[in-house]
Every structure is written in structure tokens, then in C-alpha cells.
């Protein structure tokens, strides 16, 4: 059981694993998702923001606009206390920004989740980061393991 006010690190290497995780979470929680996976057909999600470089009518944000991304997440967390926030696509964000910038973003979301009695889950591919970067995230976030229950 994930606790309100806590933040977690979750590993999933295959997009359909991430989609299943998001679907499971959104069944019983108000959910905000920022993801690289295209948003088609998502149900029960309060807000879905697609991480993409293209201009589209679908709600989206360019991964290079890290300050706007931070602002948008802060706004939705403050306005909708007691929600579930999923950030997937960290690898994609890192390719457009530095790890340090994304690490600061993750810490900000973690703090907002704590203050506003929400749950934050950062979803990441298992072999994405170097050991030092992964260690930094594991230090900041509660580690959930991966989709298969492995630690």
C-alpha cells in the first residue's frame, strides 16, 4: 500500500508495464500523469500531460521546458490535494536536460507530495541511469522494486 505524503521509485522497462501500472493506480485514485507514452484511451485520469516535442491539440509539454513542467505539476498538486502523481519518461527528460535538473524536479515533486498529502511515483527503466544517479534517486525516494516484484 502506498502512503499519502510519500514518494516512490518504480522500475518498468516495457511501455505496456507502465500503462498497466497507471491503469491500476487510476482505478481508485485521482491521478495526474506526465508521460512519454502517448495518452490514447486513458480513463479515470484527472490530467494526462504528454511529453513530446511536437505541437498538438493533445495536452502536452516540450521536454526542454523543464521550468514550465515544474510549474504545471506544482499547480495541479496544490489545486488537487490528495492525488496520485506519476512521472514516467524520466529517460526522455534527461536526454533533453541534465540529470541534475531532473533530479531537482523530482525533489520538488517529492516535497509537494509530502506537503499536500499526495503520492508521487517516478517510473524509470531499470538500466537507464549510472549507479551513482540511481543511488541518488534511491536515497530520495522509497524504492518499490519493479513490475515483477524484484528488488
- 72 found inside a domain: yes
Q: Residue 42: which residues within 8 A CB-CB, separation 6 or more?
A: 22, 23, 26, 33, 48
Helix 99-115 with 66-79: angle, nearest 10 deg: 10
- 54 found inside a domain: yes
- 25 found inside a domain: yes
d(CA 7, CA 142): 6
d(CA 115, CA 97): 26
- 11 found inside a domain: no
Q: What is the pTM of this model?
A: 0.89
pLDDT digit string, tens, across residues 2-54: 899 999 999 887 777 777 878 887 788 888 989 998 776 666 788 889 999 99
Q: Give the CATH number, domain containing residue 129.
A: 3.40.50.300
- 104 found inside a domain: yes
- 12 found inside a domain: no
Tally the domains of the chain.
Answer: 1
Helix 99-115 with 131-140: angle, nearest 10 deg: 10
Q: What range defines the domain where residue 85 resides?
A: 17-142
Question: What is the rounded average pLDDT of the residues 67-92?
Answer: 92
Amino acid at each position: 500500500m502506498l502512503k499519502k505524503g510519500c514518494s516512490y521509485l518504480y522500475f518498468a522497462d516495457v511501455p505496456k508495464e507502465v500503462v498497466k501500472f497507471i491503469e491500476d493506480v487510476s482505478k481508485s485514485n485521482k491521478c495526474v500523469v506526465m508521460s512519454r507514452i502517448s495518452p490514447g484511451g486513458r480513463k479515470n485520469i484527472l490530467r494526462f500531460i504528454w511529453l513530446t516535442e511536437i505541437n498538438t491539440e493533445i495536452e502536452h509539454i516540450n521536454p526542454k521546458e523543464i521550468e514550465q513542467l515544474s510549474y504545471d505539476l506544482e499547480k495541479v498538486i496544490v489545486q488537487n490535494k490528495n492525488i496520485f502523481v506519476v512521472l514516467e519518461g524520466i529517460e526522455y527528460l534527461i536526454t533533453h536536460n541534465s540529470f541534475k535538473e531532473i533530479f531537482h524536479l523530482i525533489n520538488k515533486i517529492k516535497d509537494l507530495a509530502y506537503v499536500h498529502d499526495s503520492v508521487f511515483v517516478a517510473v524509470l527503466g531499470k538500466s537507464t541511469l549510472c549507479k551513482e544517479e540511481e543511488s541518488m534517486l534511491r536515497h530520495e525516494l522509497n524504492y518499490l522494486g519493479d513490475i515483477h516484484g524484484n528488488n
